[in-house]
Amino acid sequence: MGKPQIPGLLKGLGVTLGTMMQTIKPKRLGGGAATVQYPHEKETPPIRSRGVIALREDNCTSCMLCVRSCPDWCIYIEAHKELAPPRRAGGAPRKVNKVDRFDIDYALCMYCGICVEVCPFDALFWSPEYEYSEPRIADLLHDKTKLGEWMETVPEAPALEAGAEKKKGK
């Protein structure tokens, strides 16, 4: 038989009993189940959760990097060129890209975040918001207004750690 079996068996019973007591104990005493009763109480995801992608339209230059890097091909951009006033007085008017269409199809998106990573102009952000399911699958295609509205839910970027390398800039 080797090692005596009974103490281990009793310890096993103790573990399940302990867990049960912990679950039955009221929440205010530090007990309760790990479960969140979702429709009745909302879970607060961590601030860097990948819930939905938000768009800051002014920053977008329609460079198409996100479109080309998307593994699912779920981003659609159309743009036209416009003349903008010069930066300095007397200069020539600048040519800028104006976004006509910026759609993300969340029915296709796999939340890899490559588009957010690859964007050189800080136009795409992760938001922890997760409640945007739709009865019709076509409604999961979010256009640029809707993507712009998600900007309100984007949390402030956490402060850099002490001793972290500062961003090099002009």
Partner 1 sequence: MSLLAVDLPYWAQSLLRVLGGTVAVLLPAGTIVYLFLFKMMSFMQSRLGPMEAGPYGSMQLFAEVGKWLQKEDIAPARADLKVFRAAPLVVLMSTFLLVAVVPFGPDAYFTNFDAGVFYMLAVSSISTLGILMAGWSSANKYSLLGGLRAAGQLIAYELPMVLSVLGVVIQAGTMNLQVIVIKQNSDSIFGWNGLGYPYILTQFVAFLVFMISVQAELTQTPFDMPIAESELVSGYMTEYSGFRFLIFFIAEFATAGVFALIASVLFLGGWGIPFSWAGWDPTDLGSIDNWMNFGGPLIMFTKMMVLTALIMWVRFSYPRFREDQLQRFAWKVLIPVSLVNIMITAIFKVAF
Q: Which letter does DSSP use for residue 29 in this model?
A: G
CA distance 77 to 73: 11
Supply the minimum distance, in Å, between the C-beta of residue 29 and partner 1: 15
- Residue matched to tokens 């399911």: 133
Least Cα distance to 55 among 121, 140, 150 occurs for 150
Residue from 4, 7, 13, 164 binding partner 1 (CB under 8 A): 13
**3-state SS assignment for residue 18:** helix
The sign one gets for the Cα dihedral 85, 88, 93, 96 is negative
Supply the minimum distance, in Å, between the C-beta of residue 27 and partner 1: 12
Supply the minimum distance, in Å, between the C-beta of residue 10 and partner 1: 10
Nearer to partner 1, 13 or 138 (CB): 13
Subset of residues 46 to 105 that bind partner 1, contact rule: CB under 8 A: none
Provide the mask over 27-56, with x wherever binding to partner 1 is found by CB under 8 A and - wherever it is not. ------xxx-x-------------------
Q: Which residues have a Cβ under 8 Å from the Cβ of 24 and sit 6 or more positions away? A: 31
Per CB under 8 A, residues contacting partner 1 are: 9, 12-13, 15-17, 19-20, 22-24, 33-35, 37
